Amino acid sequence: MMDISHLHKESWATLETYRRMSVLLIEAFYGGSHRQLVDLLQEEIEDCVLFTLPAKKWHWRARTAALYFMQAVPASMDYRILFASSVLNLTELVALRPDLGKLKKVLYFHENQLTYPVQKCQERDFQYGYNQILSCLVADVVVFNSAYNMESFLTSIGKFMKLMPDHRPKHLEELIRPKCQVLYFPVMFPDVSRFMPEHKLAHIEKMHGTQGDGDACLPFQEKNGGINISASDLSPRHSEPQSGLHSLGPEGLPNQLLTLEDLDKPTSLKSTTPCQEEDSQHATYNLCSVSGSLDHLEKPLHIVWPHRWEHDKDPESFFQVLLKMKEMGLSFHVSVLGETFTDVPDIFSKAKKALGSSVLHWGYLPSKDEYFQALCMADVVISTAKHEFFGVAMIEAVHCGCYPLCPKALVYPEIFPAEYLYSTPEQLFKRLQNLCKRPDLVRKHLYKGKMSQFSWAALRGKFRSLLETEPQEDL
């Protein structure tokens, strides 16, 4: 064992607590999906110990986290596996702590810095991508949350290294690729039936009766030893949250399936005047539109955008489409959710003012119940992202019964069937224009994709194998 006399006193105090822990989880950016993953692993995998840094100042975490963890992580003869996200400079950590270098080192990529979009080319800092390449070279297993993430990273290594003025290393992709695998981010699908409006619950009951005993998981059913709620149990009064899977739309569902042809059919404009919004700076609810007496098929289309308020999610394109719809007199409601950070694009304040009474909700919802309730009340979930390597928010929205519209790019073709993809902002506008005129179409639609492959129930065994295999064994 290495000499640990230089470690902090608090590390000595916790040494005995962690002495029997065999899986060392390190997260240098403990927030969002990064936090969700390591919290889930610590809860579900035996003998895990977790060390983290707060999800602030990402660039400084990427630069300096290794030095912090060198001091914060106590030495132990019982560690067998080191699991870290790619924010950590793994190369620096194992150089500073040779005892950790002897472990089986698993590096998980939520994103990659070789293809992460920057507003200006000169803003890309070579060091972040370079650190990730070095970390892959010292890792034993490199795991990506999607095939798109993996391929975009590996195929960009050669071009990225050409940024070096001379003495460029060669064949790095060939060295790294054999270590790589795809393991989707595991989503814990909660039971959201108590938040769902009646027409969505009716869809669940219809699917329950249609699917029978087929292979597809039913809504709110975990196939691997989880719950199985009958259709009669799915009512707004069902208030106890239970973990479950909402896998929508098997093949062969009859009638009322919304297609691209349906969206292109000419329809008459149905105008509905939305209620006046309540005056609130951050969380704005247009409550009377939620509880109004209009039939659910006649209410204005409810659009939700549940993404980080940052440039890589391209809020400008999203709001341009909505403002064009507003100018045409189309009736709709919008909920703009998602987390804000230091620099919020100016378009948000401008758009809120311009959209006026169409805004149903505006701002981040820290309560999971409030967040899922907002998703359940929406009809359509939109992504306009210029960067997406998985997209938990979109998958959660589909779980809550939303119709997804995503760019035909990035990870989305890997996740969603083709009919939910658009190629240009003009196509997105046309789809939303027709849905505003016929919101009943989207409310009758049964989603055709499968969410089960992204559930913890489906991925549990693979993660256990990843974290329970000895270094010399094959996965």
User: 298 and 149, same structural domain?
Assistant: no
User: 70 and 35, same structural domain?
Assistant: yes
- pLDDT the model gives residue 390: 96
Domain that holds residue 123: 9-186+457-468
Q: Whole-number mean pLDDT of the chain?
A: 81
The more confident residue out of 257 and 69 is 69
The more confident residue out of 212 and 77 is 77
Q: Is residue 435 part of a domain?
A: yes
Q: What is the mean pLDDT of residues 158-176?
A: 95
- Is a pLDDT exceeding 70 seen at residue 210? no
How would residue 457 be classed by pLDDT, with cut points 50, 70 and 90? very high
Q: Is residue 249 part of a domain?
A: no
User: 284 and 174, same structural domain?
Assistant: no
How would residue 255 be classed by pLDDT, with cut points 50, 70 and 90? very low
- pLDDT the model gives residue 207: 61
- For 285-312, how does the pLDDT look when each residue is reduced to its tens digit (9 = 90+)? 444 444 444 566 679 999 999 999 998 9
User: 464 and 447, same structural domain?
Assistant: no
How would residue 215 be classed by pLDDT, with cut points 50, 70 and 90? very low
Q: Cβ of 67: how many Cβ atoms within 10 Å?
A: 13
- Is a pLDDT exceeding 60 seen at residue 253? no
- Is a pLDDT exceeding 50 seen at residue 184? yes
Q: How far is CA 85 from CA 41, 178, 298, 398, 464, in A?
A: 13, 19, 46, 26, 17
- pLDDT the model gives residue 340: 85
Q: Is residue 72 part of a domain?
A: yes
Q: Is residue 310 part of a domain?
A: yes
- For 404-441, how does the pLDDT look when each residue is reduced to its tens digit (9 = 90+)? 999 999 999 999 999 999 999 999 999 999 999 999 99
> CATH code at 290?
3.40.50.2000
Q: Specify the range with the lowest mean pLDDT, choosing from 4-8, 241-245, 359-363, 401-405.
A: 241-245
- Is a pLDDT exceeding 50 seen at residue 384? yes
Q: Is residue 233 part of a domain?
A: no
User: 462 and 392, same structural domain?
Assistant: no
Structural domain count, the chain: 2
User: 267 and 178, same structural domain?
Assistant: no
- Is a pLDDT exceeding 60 seen at residue 260? no
User: 436 and 393, same structural domain?
Assistant: yes
User: 434 and 327, same structural domain?
Assistant: yes
Q: Is residue 196 part of a domain?
A: no
User: 464 and 391, same structural domain?
Assistant: no
- pLDDT the model gives residue 225: 32
- Is a pLDDT exceeding 60 seen at residue 1? no
- Is a pLDDT exceeding 90 seen at residue 54? yes
Q: Is residue 205 part of a domain?
A: no
User: 415 and 442, same structural domain?
Assistant: yes
Q: What is the mean pLDDT of residues 329-358?
A: 93
User: 272 and 159, same structural domain?
Assistant: no
- For 231-250, how does the pLDDT look when each residue is reduced to its tens digit (9 = 90+)? 233 333 233 333 333 333 33
- Is a pLDDT exceeding 90 seen at residue 475? no
Q: Is residue 430 part of a domain?
A: yes
Q: Cβ of 110: how many Cβ atoms within 10 Å?
A: 20
> CATH code at 143?
3.40.50
User: 461 and 385, same structural domain?
Assistant: no
